[in-house]
Amino acid sequence: EKRLAQFYANFSLDLMLINPKQVQVAVVGDVRNPGKYVISALKTVLDAVIQAGGPTSKGSLRNIQLLRQDKLFAVVDLYQFLMKGKTQYDFFLEPGDRIFVPLVEATVSIQGEVRRPAVFELKSGARERLSDLIELAGGFTPYALLDKIEISRRQENGERKVFYINYHQIMENDSSEANIELRHDDAVRVYSKLEQLHTRYVSIYGEVRHPGKYVLEDSLRLSDLILKAGNLTRSAYLLSAEVAKVDPKKPAKFVRVNLQKLLNDHDPSQDILLEEDDQVFIRKIPEWEVGPTVEVRGEVMFPGVYPIVKDSTWLSEIMEKAGGFTKDALIREATLIRKSSRITMDKEYERLKTMSREEMSDIEYQYFVMKQNTTDIGRIVVDFYKLVVEKDRSEDLVLEDGDVIQVPKAPKVVWVTGRVARPGGILYVPGKKLKYYLNKAGGPTWDANVRKIKITKVTGEILDDEDVKNFVAGDIIWVPRKPERNWWTIFRETIAVVAQISTVYLIVNNALRK
């Protein structure tokens, strides 16, 4: 430009490189896609490694070798560029260059109060020290405890030895013995100053909404702690609460407080100042008991929870309060679930589950099969149709705390189970008899005992088929299996009977001849 400016006035020259030269290089070693690559001559070692997919999990980032004309031209430490942005440790490529990524030789880990906790690779032959690792980790956080940095080092026998370094000595003199040389598999931990802080607690138990431990703040009083715990419950006994003063050097001291004076009269003498490890106990009002309730669910006009009087509230009263059934209610399948009966029946069902069919009586087997088709073991059999619609009080009973009344929507099927070809739900058709539903289920199988068919009505009653005149949606038809016959036993018994008859015949015949 200077040469041409001698001949031309106000001359300036701009050069633009349109097509840089392409070079072929090889990237080998522990990279994801080793091989030969044609790249721009303006690319560096880092660019070539990236084009090869980067190092594998075992590939080195700090000891990458650049081979030029079969000689080691440079060892590239990519940490310098990736973590510090220094480009002088990267090199432009020339035709025929080979880049070899070796395996990682040594690593150390650092965790805790540093800005970049991680596992770092040690540079081969660099003899890196603790201060170098701290620099790689981005330095300390403001909460780092420098007095006692923990280093865990594996010994020759495989065990780890833990020792501590005061980093203040390294900050004063980088060449001090405290700035130890790192070894493979060293583990460094920088603790937090916050871990040294002693947190003081007080506790509150009993009739508050959120009992537990709370941090003791300066000048924390009893009323403050009660507020922190969500305030008192309705059942809290206000005339007397107890504060246990705990001192490891002395026996526990108990202070009684009148919460009524504290909270209602704002008596400052009752608002005691709390100390570390104090425990506050707020008792329950003697014989306090929330009234018993029952729940009505499903197809009633007003479902919900209803209070009852213990041993005095009848089922019919609650059904009347619930407004009766909706038009979609399956009245005959309404059930009463009782917790107290559920426990006993659960145990019986669990016992039957451990038995084979041969070990059960007919009644036990019937119950076992019915239980498998019923989700609520604690069901109390009640004919709600008689009770509510026909006003038949013979079905009435006294409710207990926790009873649940369930009124489902009317199902559209009659269930056929047991020894039929296709067990399952059959669309309910008013007026149809047992034969219709059995045929719809494919008919009884060859081993079906059609003389012992049982019908489970939606009320929970179990009836013989001849006792059922009409089916309703939700009924369950159960077809049992024929009892197995032991033909060898029958044969032996037949032979014995024939032998006895023959003996009697011979005796009678001989007597008549005489």
Residues 6+ apart with CB under 8 A from 479: 416, 417, 418, 419, 420, 438, 444, 448, 449, 450, 453
Structure tokens at 346: 């659960």
Mean pLDDT of 350-354: 70
Domain 22-101 has CATH 3.40.720.10: no
Class of domain 107-195 as given by CATH: alpha beta
The two three-digit tokens of residue 141, written as one number: 């956080």
- At 285-312, the pLDDT tens digits run 876 666 788 999 998 899 998 988 888 8
- The pLDDT tens digits of the residues spanning 370-422 come to 666 554 556 787 888 888 888 888 888 998 888 999 988 866 788 888 889 98
Please give the span between the terminal C-alpha atoms of the chain, in angstroms, as a whole number. 160
For residue 108, report the phi and psi dihedrals to the nearest 5 degrees. Answer: -135, 155
**Poorest-pLDDT segment among 50-59, 76-85, 467-476, 498-507:** 498-507
How far is the C-alpha of 37 from the C-alpha of 23, rounded, in Å? 8
Please report where in the chains the tokens 């896609």 appear, as a residue: 33
Q: Write the CA distances from 46 to 27, 52, 61, 89, 447, integer angstroms.
A: 11, 10, 10, 10, 80
Lowest mean pLDDT among 316-320, 336-340, 506-510: 506-510
Of 9-18, 89-98, 384-393, least confident by mean pLDDT is: 9-18
Query: Which residues, in sequence order, are bridge partners of residue 247?
Result: 250
- Give the angle subtended at the CA of 180 by the CAs of 175 and 183, to the nearest 5°: 140
Q: What is the spatial distance between Cα 372 and Cα 431, in angstroms, rounded to a whole number?
A: 27
Superfamily of the domain at 413-479: Outer membrane lipoprotein wza domain like (3.10.560.10)
Is 3.40.50.20 the CATH classification of the domain at 201-284? no
CA distances from 193 to 145, 147, 198 (A): 5, 10, 11
The pLDDT tens digits for 204-258 are 999 999 999 999 988 899 999 999 999 999 889 999 999 998 877 778 789 999 9
Q: Are the C-beta atoms of 421 and 441 separated by less than 8 Å? A: yes
The residues near 17 (Cβ < 8 Å, ≥ 6 apart) are none
How many Å is the maximal CA-CA distance in the chain? Answer: 169
379 vs 463 pLDDT, higher one: 463
- Name which residue leads in pLDDT, 443 or 329: 443
Q: What's 268's DSSP letter?
A: G
**Is the pLDDT assigned to residue 1 strictly greater than 50?**
yes
Q: Is 346 left (phi over 0), alpha (psi -120 to 50) or beta?
A: alpha
| Distant-in-sequence, close-in-space partners of 443: CB < 8 Å, separation ≥ 6 | 420, 421
Whether the CB-CB separation of 209 and 230 falls below 8 Å is answered with yes
The Cα 328–Cα 325 span in angstroms is 8
